[in-house]
Amino acid sequence: MASHSWHSLRNSFFGAALLLLIAAATVALNSLAQASGNPPQSSSNTKQDRWLHVRVENPDAKDEIVRVNVPLELAERVLPTIDRDSLHHGKVRVDQIDCHGVDLRALLDAVRASKDGEFVTVQNKDADVRVAKQNNYFLVHVIDRKNSKKAHVEVKVPMKVVEALLSSGKDELDLVAGLHALSTQGDTELVSVKDERNTVRVWLDSKNVSD
Amino acid sequence: MLLAKLALGFGGTLLVAGAYTFHEGVMRVDEDHVNVRHVHVWLPAAVVPLALHVIPKHQLERAAEQASPWLPTLRALTKELKKYPEAELINVRDSNQRVHIRTHNGKLLIDVDGSEEQVHLACPLAVIDDVSSELEANAPTV
């Protein structure tokens, strides 16, 4: 009887050990398969992600570069969790931002309410400035001729984004709503700045790297 | 015979632990300061959440209290980053230093290379999620 119990105990032990080994081997093989070139599947494969890219380059110093690539969905989810300084629940208080006397919200509100057209046009020997609303885009175009190398600024923001930014209360801009509106847009260049030292580009596309 | 069985049991356990570690990866922190100190920590990722249960409760509560304003952000960030296991996020460099933040194989990699110091961090996103959950559970309730 004792011998039988010992026998079944030994069988159970070996059975359990065998199961452990199989489980370990399965986990190890699974990990090896992932490591050997089958990248982990992600939800990003199922739908097209929208990425916001920022790139700053200095053509005279090739070793100076800034590259930022942010998935819009990530920014949309993370921003509301930040409750710091002027940023609360994905909204930024503009009354605390120094815009050199310009009421940013009032300016954007005026642009939203007006029809297509040019709001500001300045052309002289030093500068060429144009602020306009055209084909559902808010456009800013600046050429600064004061410096030896001309500086260019081009800003192109979809009006849907401007409207979403203004959808919050007074003195606030709803950044999350703005990002959400941006995510529905096609590939587009939002900001391009070129001065004598740096070139800055901010654009939107579906690639997860800036080339 | 008994020794053989013990060895088999120990070997099996080790294999499972090793396989789990291999599966979860390694958390790596390397910190180098010129002529001052070098810190290199390689930890099996599976150990980190376990270690949190060993830390004295008051220490964990203090850490949780300090980190609490940022824990929701950390959790949201980790959850979202898991959707992007291979992504270049930030690459900033000038003639003196470089900061590179990316995800690779489900790990968050942060490399800071300066003329005076270097810090390299590689941490599985799952571990960051586990640690932030543990800290959140220990954070003081308002």
Say if CB A178 and CB A168 are below 8 A apart. no
| Chain B residues in contact with A42 (beta carbon < 8 A) | 82-85
> Which of residues A181 and B56 earns the better pLDDT score?
A181
Is the CB of A82 inside 8 Å of chain B's CB atoms? Answer: yes
DSSP state of A1: -
Query: What distance in Å separates residue A36's CA from the closest CA in chain B?
Result: 11
The model scores a pTM over 0.95: no
pLDDT in tens, A70-92: 999 999 999 999 988 888 989 99
Res. A154: pLDDT tops 90: yes
Q: Which helix (H) or strand (E) holds A61?
A: none
- Least confidently predicted of A52-56, A145-149, A181-185, A192-196: A145-149
Neighbours of A167 (CB within 10 A): 15
User: Is the predicted pLDDT of residue B2 greater than 50, yes or no?
Assistant: no
- In terms of pLDDT, which residue wins out, B140 or B19? B140
Mean pLDDT of chain B: 77
Do residue A17 and residue B23 have CB atoms under 8 angstroms apart? no
- In this predicted structure, what is the pLDDT of residue A33? 44
| CA–CA dist A173, A92 (Å, integer) | 5
Residue with the bigger pLDDT between A84 and A20: it is A84
CB-side neighbour CA atoms (13 Å) of A29: 6
Q: DSSP label at A177? A: H
Q: Higher model confidence: residue B45 or residue A156? A: A156
Smallest Cα distance from A21 to chain B, Å = 6
| ipTM for the complex shown | 0.70
Q: Which residues of chain A neighbour B76 with C-beta distances below 8 Å?
A: 77-78, 81
More confident position, A57 or A63 = A57
Higher-pLDDT residue of B45, A180 = A180
Which chain A residues touch B20 with a CB distance below 8 Å? 27
Does A122 touch chain B if contact means CB atoms closer than 8 Å?
Answer: no
Model pLDDT, residue B42: 75
pLDDT at B10: 43
Whether A67 and B92 lie within 8 Å, measured CB to CB: yes
Collect all residues of chain A within an 8 Å Cβ-Cβ radius of residue B22. 27-28, 31
Please state, in angstroms and rounded to a whole number, the distance separating the CA atoms of residues A100 and A64: 29
**CA atoms of A184 and A170, how far apart (whole Å):** 25
Nearest chain A Cα distance for residue B35, angstroms: 26
Choose among A30, A40, A65: nearest Cβ to B93: A65
Q: How confident is the model at residue A47 (pLDDT cuts 50, 70, 90)?
A: low
User: What are the tens digits of pLDDT across the range A156-192?
Assistant: 999 999 999 988 877 888 999 999 999 999 999 999 9
> What distance in Å separates residue A6's CA from the closest CA in chain B?
13
Residue A155 pLDDT > 60:
yes
Nearest to A68 among B82, B90, B106 (CB): B90
Chain A: nearest CA to B5, how far in angstroms? 9
8 A C-beta contact, residue A146 and residue A67: no
Alpha carbons within 13 A on the beta-carbon side of B70: 7
CB of A1 less than 8 A from some CB of B: no
Are A66 and B92 inside 8 Å of each other by CB?
yes
* H helix or E strand, kind and range, residue B36: none
pLDDT > 90: percent of chain A: 37
Residue matched to tokens 């409760």: B57
| B84 close to A73: Cβ distance less than 8 angstroms | no
CB contact under 8 A, A31 and B94: no
Helix (H) or strand (E) holding A187: none
Residue A40 has pLDDT above 70, yes or no: no
Contact criterion met (CB < 8 Å) for B90 and A25: no
pLDDT value at residue A73: 95
Q: Is the pLDDT of residue A204 over 80?
A: yes
